[in-house]
């Protein structure tokens, strides 16, 4: 496409949300360009050896024909898949999906998205510029990693975020503390222990939460279907509400916040418990200070105890902040309505800037926690395309 050419939609990001949206956009005959390296966050920002917490039915990347499921991938490639799904197999599935939907994905970076006369002008890292009527931001969460303030002055060789590691075996025979009580923290601790590290988990919550301990609840026929959505987000009852983002959006904000936290509070998969049987887990405690001590790190806890360790792994999650999108200039940032870093979205996952849409976790403040998971790709893509087609029709 020539440098001054335009398209209907530009998609920034080639993870599950970007790929799924592209499948639906192309199915609606919308000229679409997609930018990013497919599944790069999943491959490079999660430790090798991890498994998906979501069940099989909730791990399909949605497509309009429902022909690009995990089952179809397994049948087409002969690639054996087990449950829970190994991370590396899911990455392979995502790239297989990409080859079916958008083999022409452009593995280039978008450096700027700015307003233009009829939409947006995008600039790429190699200098190409073009215009697009709409821009879909499905750029993942790697910009949003969060470090507790107690670790702000600690150098990266002594404290790092869990998403900054691909190979945890480098910590073999070292004294490691993992901060956090969610899946990432607990599975990282298991992998560290299995790699020969002396590891302890420190959790602020007074108890650990586990999911999947009562699988029989999902095998009660009609009763289970009333209690649980196939989207696999949230406990019994709440699971059904979370699976309907449009309804969720109509709830009072306080109720939405409470329901969202309960649906995705820090928790580990039940199948992790045997792997952690020899790992010390300290609950109900938090780190109040972290200071270097020679070549090591000294942690002070709120119970007066200390830990002298070689490294701290901060499995402390991600906090959305759209100001961290370096490709959005300040003049657009000031026009973007946000709450606590999240963009405020209306129908079509469209922001306060007409034609600028956000998919994935940034959409969770508006549409609920389903948008934090792969199982939210169907709602996001359908809602996006339905809105675009409707608006295009009204304009014509």
The reply to whether 158 and 249 lie within a common domain is no
CB 344 within 8 A of CB 364: no
Mean pLDDT of 70-91: 93
Q: What pLDDT, on the 0 to 100 scale, is given for residue 395?
A: 57
Region 299-305: what's the mean pLDDT?
A: 98
Average pLDDT, the chain: 95
| 310 is a domain residue | yes
pLDDT digits (tens, 9 = 90+) for 93-116: 999 999 999 999 999 999 999 999
User: Distance from first CA to last CA of the chain, Å, rounded?
Assistant: 25
Dihedral sign for Cα atoms in the order 300, 303, 306, 311: negative
Radius of gyration of the chain measured on its C-alpha atoms: 22
Say if CB 242 and CB 231 are below 8 A apart.
yes
Q: Could you say which of 314, 341, 375 is where a domain stops?
A: 314
Residues 22 and 105 in one domain: yes
For 69-102, give the DSSP string: SHHHHHHHH-----SSPBHHHHHHHHHHHHHHH-
pLDDT of 365: 97
Residue 137 within any structural domain of the chain: yes
State pLDDT tens for residues 354-375: 999 999 999 999 999 999 999 9
> Is residue 1 in some structural domain?
no
Token pair in block for residue 353:
């800037």
User: Does residue 79 fall inside a structural domain?
Assistant: yes
Q: Are residues 333 and 247 in the same domain?
A: no
**Is the model's pLDDT at 21 over the cut of 90?**
yes
Number of residues that make up the chain = 396
Question: Do 202 and 281 fall into the same domain?
Answer: yes
Residues 189 and 125 in one domain: no
Which of these three, 264, 294, 328, is where a domain ends? 264
Given pLDDT bands bounded at 50, 70 and 90, which one contains residue 5?
Answer: low
Q: Judge contact between 342 and 320, C-beta under 8 A.
A: yes
Residues 30 and 108 in one domain: yes
Half-sphere exposure for 345 (CA within 13 Å, toward CB): 32
| Separation between Cα atoms, residue 140 and residue 62, nearest integer Å | 17
Please tell me the pTM assigned to this model.
0.94
Claim to verify: residue 23 and residue 62 sit in the same structural domain:
yes
- Residues 89, 190 share a domain: no
Position 2 pLDDT exceeds 50 = no
Q: Is the pLDDT at 1 greater than 50, yes or no?
A: no
> What is the tens place of the pLDDT at every residue in 237-265?
999 999 999 999 999 999 999 999 999 99
Which pLDDT belongs to residue 392? 82
Nearest of 15, 53, 42, 380 to residue 232 by alpha carbon: 53
Among 299, 314, 329, which residue terminates a domain? Answer: 314
Phi, psi dihedrals of residue 235, rounded to the nearest 5°: -75, 180
Instruction: Residue 358: give the domain boundaries.
Output: 6-142+319-395
Pair 13, 117 in one domain: yes
Contact 62, 99 (CB under 8 A): no
Per-residue pLDDT, 394: 59
Q: What DSSP assignment string belongs to 315-377?
A: ---B---GGG-TTS-HHHHTTS-EETTEEP-BGGGB-SSTTEEE-SGGGHHHH-GGGGSGGGH
Number of domains in the chain: 3
State yes or no: pLDDT of 218 exceeds 80: no
Quick check: 57 pLDDT over 80? yes
* Same-domain status, 19 and 154: no
pLDDT digits (tens, 9 = 90+) for 153-204: 999 999 999 999 999 999 999 999 999 999 999 999 999 999 999 999 999 9
Q: Note whether 355 and 370 are same-domain residues.
A: yes
CATH number at residue 275: 3.50.50.60
Task: Please report whether residue 84 resides in a domain.
Answer: yes
Is the pLDDT confidence value at 393 over 90? Answer: no
Whole-number pLDDT of residue 223: 87
């Amino acid at each position: 496409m020539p440098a001054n050419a335009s398209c209907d939609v530009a998609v920034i990001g080639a993870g599950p949300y970007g790929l799924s949206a592209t499948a639906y956009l192309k199915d609606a005959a919308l000229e679409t360009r997609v930018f990013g390296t497919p599944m790069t966050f999943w491959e490079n920002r999660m430790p090798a050896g991890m498994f998906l917490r979501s069940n099989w039915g909730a791990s399909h990347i949605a497509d309009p024909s429902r022909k690009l499921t995990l089952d179809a991938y397994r049948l087409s490639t002969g690639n054996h898949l087990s449950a829970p799904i190994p991370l590396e197999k899911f990455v392979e599935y995502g790239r297989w999906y990409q080859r079916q939907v958008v083999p022409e994905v452009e593995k280039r970076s978008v450096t700027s998205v700015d307003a233009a006369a009829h939409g947006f002008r995008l600039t790429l890292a190699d200098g190409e510029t073009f215009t697009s009527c709409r821009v879909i931001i499905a750029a993942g969460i790697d910009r949003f990693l969060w470090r507790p303030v107690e670790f702000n002055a600690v150098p990266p060789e002594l404290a790092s975020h869990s998403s900054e590691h691909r190979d945890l075996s480098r910590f073999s025979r070292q004294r490691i503390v993992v901060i956090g009580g969610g899946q990432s923290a607990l599975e990282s601790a298991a992998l560290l222990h299995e790699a020969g590290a002396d590891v302890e988990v420190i959790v602020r919550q007074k108890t650990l939460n586990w999911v999947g301990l009562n699988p029989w609840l999902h095998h009660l026929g009609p009763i289970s279907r009333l209690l649980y959505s196939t989207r696999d987000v949230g406990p019994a009852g709440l699971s059904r509400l979370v699976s309907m983002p449009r309804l969720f959006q109509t709830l009072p904000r306080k109720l939405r916040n409470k329901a969202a936290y309960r649906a995705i509070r820090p928790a580990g998969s039940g199948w992790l418990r045997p792997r952690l049987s020899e790992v010390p887990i300290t609950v109900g405690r938090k780190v109040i200070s972290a200071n270097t001590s020679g070549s090591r790190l000294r942690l002070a806890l709120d119970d007066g105890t200390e830990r002298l360790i070689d490294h701290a792994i901060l499995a402390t999650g991600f906090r959305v902040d759209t100001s961290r999108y370096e490709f959005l200039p300040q003049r657009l940032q000031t026009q973007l309505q946000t709450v606590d870093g999240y963009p405020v979205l209306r129908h079509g996952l469209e922001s306060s800037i007409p034609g600028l849409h956000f998919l994935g976790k940034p959409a969770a403040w508006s549409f609920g926690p389903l948008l934090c998971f792969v199982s939210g790709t169907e709602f996001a893509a359908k809602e996006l395309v339905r809105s675009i087609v409707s608006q295009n029709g009204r304009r014509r």
